[in-house]
Amino acid sequence: MRIVLLGAPGSGKGTQAQRLVERARIPQISTGDLLRAAVARGSELGRQAREAMDSGRLVDDSLVLGMIRERLGEADARKGFILDGFPRNLAQAHALERLLASLGKPLDAVVQLEVDYGELVRRIAGRRTCADCGRVFNVLTSPSPPRELCPKTGAPHRLIQRPDDNEATVAERLRVYDEKTRPLIDFYRARGLLRVINAEGDVDEVTRRLTQALGARSGRAAPATRATARRRARSSSARRKPTRPKPARARTKPAASASSRSRASAPRRGAHKTLRLAGATRRRRARSSKRR
């Protein structure tokens, strides 16, 4: 399975990718993690990426693409992968498409994780990562279980806050997401690869929606939040071309189908008659048995 998780910072791509790794036994490839590792190593790539990361901008495409090309060439990515945080703009999406086409391994699905803006900010504020194993927790919504030990060190998780999870950088990252990454939704929808899930609520429930979306043959979306539905309705009505008013016949159609729906759920007319007849028969029988 070759998939892309698409979503704003804080939408839970990393958390859900980690859960999919356990289920699907394919690696999570997070460009954010790869870049942070390069920064921590103090490599040339890390040095070049650091400034953009600290200010919430995107790292240069050529650096990220080089890194992805190398990572996808590794043995564990042969049977599939979960891309998390990549692609992040149209140029990266086109480059990925070309790269996978040249390998004869196109994407199977792109899942967009939808979360409201306010919730994204709240999640990022509480986000903490284990400095040793990289697992993501949230002190507000999903803290690390008290007795859980880090699989890397055998000691309790060492939780740190990412340097770019501060208020100013988060606002810029969300702005960059809207400007550069959001257009990928239409890009993948046009290719028939997009599946949209509501990524708010319980983490296990989101995992269930995600696996369901991946298992589903069609690209139909899971139920959205009310806010999401409002947003979608707004954007689709904005996209809709102005149309002339529908002829009267067409306008009466929904009403007719609504009444036929209510007819379908009401008892049959014949059924009332049968009940009345049965009551009359019972009364007649009672009268004649009294006479006897």
The β-bridge relationship of strands 136-138 and 28-30 is unpaired
- Looking at the Cβ atoms of 28 and 92, the one nearer to ligand ADP is 92
- Looking at the Cβ atoms of 126 and 219, the one nearer to ligand ADP is 126
- Looking at the Cβ atoms of 70 and 286, the one nearer to ligand ADP is 70
Measured from each CB, the residue nearest to ligand ADP is 32
Give the number of other CB atoms < 10 A from CB of residue 274.
10
Which ranges in 177-247 belong to alpha helices (H)?
183-190, 203-215, 226-239
Active-site residue (options: 105, 152, 162, 180)? 162
Burial class (CB in 10 A: 0-12, 13-18, 19+), 189: middle
Sheet strands side by side (includes 28-30): 28-30, 81-84, 2-6, 109-114, 194-198
Active-site residue (options: 19, 71, 88, 123)? 88
- Looking at the Cβ atoms of 42 and 242, the one nearer to ligand ADP is 42
232 catalytic residue (yes or no): no
Active-site residue (options: 2, 71, 128, 173)? 173
Closest approach, Cβ 223 to ligand ADP, in A, equals: 24
Closest approach, Cβ 7 to ligand ADP, in A, equals: 8
88 catalytic residue (yes or no): yes
Q: Which residues bind ligand ADP (CB under 6 A)?
A: 9-10, 31-32, 35, 52-53, 56-59, 64, 85-86, 88, 92, 164, 173
Structure tokens at 86: 């990549």
Q: Which of 189, 141, 255, 162 is nearest to 6 (CA)?
A: 189
Q: What angle do CA 83, 235, 57 make, to 5 degrees?
A: 45
Closest approach, Cβ 13 to ligand ADP, in A, equals: 6
226 catalytic residue (yes or no): no
- Looking at the Cβ atoms of 86 and 187, the one nearer to ligand ADP is 86
Closest approach, Cβ 118 to ligand ADP, in A, equals: 16
Torsion of CA 164, 169, 173, 174, to 10 degrees: 120
290 catalytic residue (yes or no): no
Q: In the chain, count of helices (H) and strands (E)?
A: 12, 8
Full 3-state SS string of 28-73? EEEHHHHHHHHHHHCCHHHHHHHHHHHHCCCCCHHHHHHHHHHHHC
Closest approach, Cβ 85 to ligand ADP, in A, equals: 3
13 catalytic residue (yes or no): yes
Residues with catalytic annotation?
Answer: 13, 88, 127, 162, 173
